[in-house]
Amino acid sequence: MIEGPTDDAPRADAALIKALARGHVWFNELAKGKASSINEIARQENLTGRYVSRIIQFAFLAPDITEAILAGRQPVDLTVETITREIDIPLAWTEQRVLLGF
């Protein structure tokens, strides 16, 4: 489990915000047929398909989690690396909150 938010001032994490944006863009490309597959996006971005698929998970975060990340109120241990290497984000928003420490 990820450690919960601290009482410190909010701190925006540019990498998390970029991952959120990319996740939404890439998912929309797939949904609208602008990209035929995750592998096509990976080739265009010079990334691995695994990395792209992990970043696309960000498109399915609960709205309050997305808002918290954008406001810099995410748990201290919640990083792009943590999500791309260690966590499979569940689709259920209540499970996301528990897993990610919100």
Residue 75, domain member (yes or no): yes
Q: Could you identify the residue written with the tokens 């919960």?
A: 4
Q: Could you identify the residue written with the tokens 């709205």?
A: 63
Residue 81, domain member (yes or no): yes
Residue 3, domain member (yes or no): no
Domain that includes residue 19, residue range? 14-100
Report yes or no on whether pTM surpasses 0.85: no
Q: What is residue 6's predicted lDDT score, i.e. its pLDDT? A: 52
Residue 77, domain member (yes or no): yes
Over residues 20-51, the pLDDT tens digits come to 999 999 999 999 999 999 999 999 999 999 99
What average pLDDT does the chain have?
Answer: 91
Residue % of the chain over a pLDDT of 90:
79
Alpha-carbon span 32 to 99, nearest angstrom: 30
Count: domains in the chain: 1
Residue 92, domain member (yes or no): yes
Residue 9, domain member (yes or no): no
Residue 38, domain member (yes or no): yes
